[in-house]
Structure 1
Amino acid sequence: MTYDLLIGDRSYSSWSLRGWLLFAAFDLPVRVEVNELYRESFHDRLKAWAPARTVPVARAPDSALWCDSLAIAEGLAERHPKAGHWPKDPKTRALARSMTAEMHSGFTALRGACPMNLRVRWDGFTPDAAVRADLARLETLWAAAREMAGDGPWLFGAYCAADAFFAPVAMRIAGYDLPISDASRTYVDAHLTHAPLRAWRAEGEARDRTLSNYDIGLPTSPFPIV
């Protein structure tokens, strides 16, 4: 069973990264098509994936369509219950789903001020009060997960959908050198060394497409992937 997945540019599309990780990090076969952002053809290419209006969007072999990363997570978990998208324990699973939903809909200050850019690290970025508030909320959520599931590289022990959803914000923290605790830095480092995420970034680098829309006008240094 091989799925189809339409994504945006790997270096910039945080939503696409989430959708792709829901396949790649759980060993589910998928054919990937890139719909480059800010091209005149972007919306034309989406017509074949109607009613989707953005990326990512996934199609199952039976033509079922998931037009959002959260829908992809639930659809794959439903079809592949042993893949491990959600923790087995009901209370842990409830927290994982709650955190995923909050990441999906919230943290607008952090998203707006720090768009994901896997091509460079921005030097000298100063987060404002709203971004710091979002970072504090992340710290609270990640600490709650550690308290429930114990210490480990991932939020709930084994890698799950919640980690896929927090992967882009981990990349923002690394790419803008945002202030976080040592415990949270360890979690960010786990993403930086995660083989699927490293493969994702390498694919983006191979395309060598830089989008000026994501330039924030600060000095840059190499992105801190390790």
Structure 2
Amino acid sequence: MKLIIGNKNYSSWSLRGWLACKQSGLHFEELTVPIYGDDWDQRKIEGELAPSHGKVPILWDGEAVVWDSLAIVDYLADKVGRDRFWPKPDDARAMARSMVAEMHSSYLPLRRSLPMNVRARVEGAQVDDEVRGDIVRILTLWAEARARFGGGGPFLFGTFSAADVFYAPVVSRFLTYGVGVPGFAQAYMQAVWEHEWMQQWVSAAESEDWVIEQFEVPAT
């Protein structure tokens, strides 16, 4: 398998696809394509990025190609078994799937105003009511998941799962912009940030030379 990703410092969707591949336990080759680089427009319509029209991550498995992070989770779960990605009990799995789907399709104000920037630490970042609403909603979901299903470990559903894969970039955003969170969320964020795979990603992001100015300052 080959996973094509964007810059690790900025590409939240790439992080999700990469963590999903790590969670699968399957061997995969990793290829980074700098987004908005000099040849970005050309690469979007040619070669291995063409099926997704330049969207990353994109997973190639022989002739099979998957170019959406949620589809990548589903594809890998088909290969290795859903229990590697999802909680076993029906009620926990139902909530985990719903949380992942909500993350996949929602929170546009948060995404726009607080872009992922692993290397940065921003003091005094201002958020509007829409972004604040997104933050409250996310923290509410985290609290419910931890209270109902988190007894088996430090992650949302106890052990590391697809839910943590999808909310890991949110953890990064909250840390970058100093978003204040209650104690249970601080403990959860610490568990995600200190996870071996996350530390591998962070180390690689910090060593990248690429700078994308539009993602360096939060929207106001």
TM-score (norm 1): 0.89
Task: Give the partner amino acid of 2:199.
Answer: R
Alignment partners' CA distance in 1, 2:129 and 2:167: 21
* Aligned counterpart in structure 2 of residue 45 of structure 1, from 43, 46, 49: 43
Matches within 5 A, 1:37-186: 37-46=35-44, 47-49=46-48, 50-53=50-53, 54-61=55-62, 63-81=63-81, 84-151=84-151, 152-186=153-187
Task: Supply the RMSD in Å over aligned alpha carbons.
Answer: 1.7
Q: 1 or 2, which has the higher helix percentage? A: 2
Do the aligned residues in 1 keep the contact of 2:13 with 2:56 (CA within 8 Å)? yes
Alignment partners' CA distance in 1, 2:174 and 2:41: 31
Number of the residue aligned with 1:222: none
Whether 1:189 and 2:190 are equivalent positions in the alignment is yes
Moved over 4 A (4+): none
Cα deviation for residue 23 of structure 1 reads 1.2
TM-score (norm 2): 0.92
Q: 1:169 to 1:217 in 2, by over 3 A?
A: closer
Q: 1:156 to 1:64 in 2, by over 3 A?
A: same
List alignment gaps of at least 5 residues for structure 2: none
Number of the residue aligned with 1:221: none
Task: Give the partner amino acid of 2:200.
Answer: A
Q: 2:35 is paired with a residue of what secondary structure?
A: coil
Alignment partners' CA distance in 2, 1:90 and 1:217: 39
* Aligned counterpart in structure 2 of residue 28 of structure 1, from 16, 26, 29: 26
* Aligned counterpart in structure 1 of residue 8 of structure 2, from 10, 13, 18: 10
**How many percent identity over aligned positions?**
38
Alignment partners' CA distance in 2, 1:4 and 1:179: 37
List alignment gaps of at least 5 residues for structure 1: 219-226
Q: 1:150 is paired with a residue of what secondary structure?
A: helix
Alignment partners' CA distance in 2, 1:77 and 1:25: 10
Alignment partners' CA distance in 2, 1:162 and 1:147: 15
Write out per-residue CA displacement over residues 79-118 of structure 1, whole angstroms, 9 at most, x where no aligned residue.
Answer: 1106611111222111111100100111111111100001
Cα deviation for residue 197 of structure 1 reads 0.8
Cα deviation for residue 160 of structure 1 reads 0.5
Do the aligned residues in 2 keep the contact of 1:25 with 1:196 (CA within 8 Å)? no
